[in-house]
Amino acid sequence: MASLPKDLHIVLFPLMQQGHMIPMIDIARILARHNATVTIVTTRVNADRFRAAIARAIEAKLKIQLVELYLPLSEVGLPEGCENFDMLPSFDLFVKMYTAMGMLEKPAERVLRGLIPPPSCIISDNQFPWTNDVARKLGIPRFVFHGPGCFTYLCLHIVMNTNILNEVESDSDYFVLPGISDRIELTKAQAGGWAKTDTKEMEDFFVQMKAAEEAANGIVVNSFHELEPNYVEELAKAKGKKVWCIGPVSLHNRSFLDIAERGNKAGVDEHACLMWLDMKESRSVIFICLGSMSSISNEQLFELGLGLELSNIPFIWCIRHKTEETEEWLSGYEERVKDRGLIVRGWAPQVLILSHKAVGGFLTHCGWNSTLEGVSAGLPMVTFPQYADQFINERFIIDVLKVGVSIRMEKADKYGVLVKKENIMRALESIMDKHEEGELRRKRARELGEMAKRAMEEGGSSYLNISSMIQDIVGQLATNNTKSIQDIV
């Protein structure tokens, strides 16, 4: 590892959403292990979610700290304490959260100006566009972090910078996405779900995000080069800046607690969960989890449960959103499947479960973290996207990586349609199939899992990218300092 300035100080701004916070906390610890001082700027409620992980990092002598800002929720009409997107009762309230986030700019700048040693670089989620102005005032580089991988990021770039959606009449009609080396078919609703600008406020916000992204000094992606080599290069070309693939960052976690509590405290005893898996045959269990933000209807939840029951496949099912009706239904359901099914209410130790030898498949909502965690575990996946970029991630899993089966099964299914138990059963049976097609998926999934591990090892592509990115930060900082001196002269 090349020598670094003793006072190299990188400040991270993670978005207040589990799917964005989790990889950013991993990135913070990775950077600290590469001898940088790291400060994570967030709010109290969000800091509480990963405070234990940061405490363990500090005990391990890593130079890492948390700085908490007050989020002015009451000023925008949100209840106090509602500091994470997964705490909002409705998607309609997202715009209020973004307004509150925008009010963090001045207090954040004051905090950064008081940090010792002074900040050398900002790495912020793309949904904090104002961090670009803060970085410019401080004379330091800013890198933007995007949640999804390079393939999905490029697809979104094409959708947002062409008129392709205007050329498609119906939300349910499929079209071929242009400018992609693989043949990717999406509906208008699936392709356009991420960048909804139903209000003037959201339209203005996306304009700010785009401008801040264009001004960024580089792009940080939780992916690895071997997973999507063509798309890393194509994304860099489309954005006109360096793209640093430094993942899968989940593989950075080594201790039991760091893996088990990644993101939040589990809703099941981790040891009991592992003991349950220890009693199952190798690669016989399927894990089902639809993410921290997904909220399927009771009717869909029941169909999913019945499909699992019909399949006769052992399973662990994580259910995060419950009602009195679902609890009443689950009481009878759990009794029927008790010999082969384990229900987790709340947060599940996902990485811990996926890496167990008894798990042979993963039913996922196709959030990017879950997608990459499934890849890292070497597992084939059943895809059940819900919203936003998840539909594009599904196409990556199925059409590019060729390790997935869609739960919808029929291409004619419309966006948001109720998926029946028979379709669910067929998808589950297909992913666990022992015949030629299933074996090819499993073989490919295992190969990708091995590639992921090698990428994060010393000398691997992501390890080298982290070192190179840090050196780039040092170089850009030196250039900025030289410019400042010349301006004074």
Q: What is the CATH number of the domain that holds 88?
A: 3.40.50.2000
Residues 81 and 229 in one domain: yes
Confirm whether 254 is domain-assigned: no
Q: How far is residue 476's CA from residue 489's CA, in Å, rounded to a whole number?
A: 20
Q: Six-digit token pair at 486?
A: 């010349």
Confirm whether 42 is domain-assigned: yes
Residues 60 and 195 in one domain: yes
363: nearest Cα among 409, 410, 315, 330: 315
- 110 burial level (CB within 10 Å; 0-12, 13-18, 19+): exposed
Residues 181 and 109 in one domain: yes
Q: How far is residue 161's CA from residue 176's CA, in Å, rounded to a whole number?
A: 16
Give this prediction's pTM: 0.92
Residues 137 and 39 in one domain: yes
Residues 219 and 286 in one domain: no
Confidence of residue 251 (pLDDT cuts 50, 70, 90): very high
Q: How far is residue 161's CA from residue 107's CA, in Å, rounded to a whole number?
A: 33
Residues 197 and 271 in one domain: no
pLDDT in tens, 399-434: 999 999 998 744 434 445 688 999 999 999 999 988
Q: How far is residue 9's CA from residue 64's CA, in Å, rounded to a whole number?
A: 10
Which residues constitute the domain of residue 364?
Answer: 265-453
Q: How far is residue 233's CA from residue 238's CA, in Å, rounded to a whole number?
A: 9
Q: What residues have CB less than 8 Å from 145, skipping those under 6 apart?
A: 20, 23, 24, 27, 123, 124, 125, 126, 219, 220, 221, 222
Does the pLDDT of residue 295 top 80, yes or no?
A: no
Residues 286 and 228 in one domain: no
pLDDT in tens, 147-164: 899 999 999 999 988 888
Residues 166 and 212 in one domain: yes
Confirm whether 255 is domain-assigned: no
> In this predicted structure, what is the pLDDT of residue 486?
45
> In this predicted structure, what is the pLDDT of residue 271?
82
* β pairing state of 121-125 and 9-13: parallel
Q: How far apart are the first and last CA of the chain?
A: 36
Contacts 24+ apart (CB under 8 A), 427-430: 427/363, 427/382, 428/286, 428/307, 428/308, 428/311, 428/313, 428/361, 428/363, 428/382, 429/311, 429/313, 430/382, 430/405
> In this predicted structure, what is the pLDDT of residue 416?
56
Residues 219 and 178 in one domain: yes
Confirm whether 134 is domain-assigned: yes
Q: How far is residue 135's CA from residue 109's CA, in Å, rounded to a whole number?
A: 9
Domain count, the chain: 2
Residues 448 and 465 in one domain: no
Residues 94 and 215 in one domain: yes
User: Could you tell me if 153 and 234 are in contact, meaning their C-beta atoms sit under 8 angstroms apart?
Assistant: no
More confident residue, 477 or 428: 428
Residues 223 and 329 in one domain: no
Q: How far is residue 298's CA from residue 331's CA, in Å, rounded to a whole number?
A: 14
Confidence of residue 333 (pLDDT cuts 50, 70, 90): very high
Does the pLDDT of residue 489 top 50, yes or no?
A: no
> Mapping DSSP to helix (H, G, I), strand (E, B) and coil, where does residue 10 land?
strand
Confirm whether 256 is domain-assigned: no
